[in-house]
Amino acid sequence: MDIQLIRIDDRLIHGQVAITWAKDNRISRIIVVSDEVAANPIQKTLLSQAAPPGIKAHVITLNKLIDIYMNPMLKDVKVMLLFTNPADVVTIYKNGINFQTVNIGGMKFTDGKQMVTHFVSVNQEDIDAFKYLDQQRIELEIRKVPSDRKQLLMDVLKKGSYI
């Protein structure tokens, strides 16, 4: 599996992801990785049909991604992995899936979360997961679309005294 982009965006597959990021990274497959979404047949079906022409979309569990990561049939497949939260990204990292950068595109505000940018909100579990990834020297960059100026999440968290 040739991972071109790992993105956290709780909106999952939508216009920006399906078109802008996929084209910019020459993606042929979008994989939504979420136990919760994979357990919802309606959401799974809708997301599987949301990719633009020429790009396949799948919704799988964390364990399924870990199982198929080294599958030789996927060796040259350029993929975008989409997650709803950073804890799931930590899980795949701890299970041997290596990457250098995580793009944070959207984490909505809900009870118990604090807004750190106008489109990224975090709670303590999110902060702990991001701190772990940062300690592994993984770049955590905030951008909605590829043309946006890159912001480093850890700088934003430090500046706002969240960590």
SS3 150: coil
Residue 58 bears catalytic tag: no
Distinct helix (H) and strand (E) counts, the chain: 8, 9
Catalytic residue among 2, 14, 40, 115: 14
The secondary structure of 67-134 as a DSSP string is HHTT-GGGTT-EEEEEES-HHHHHHHHHTT---SEEEEEEB---TT-EESSSSBEE-HHHHHHHHHHH
Annotated active-site positions, please?
14
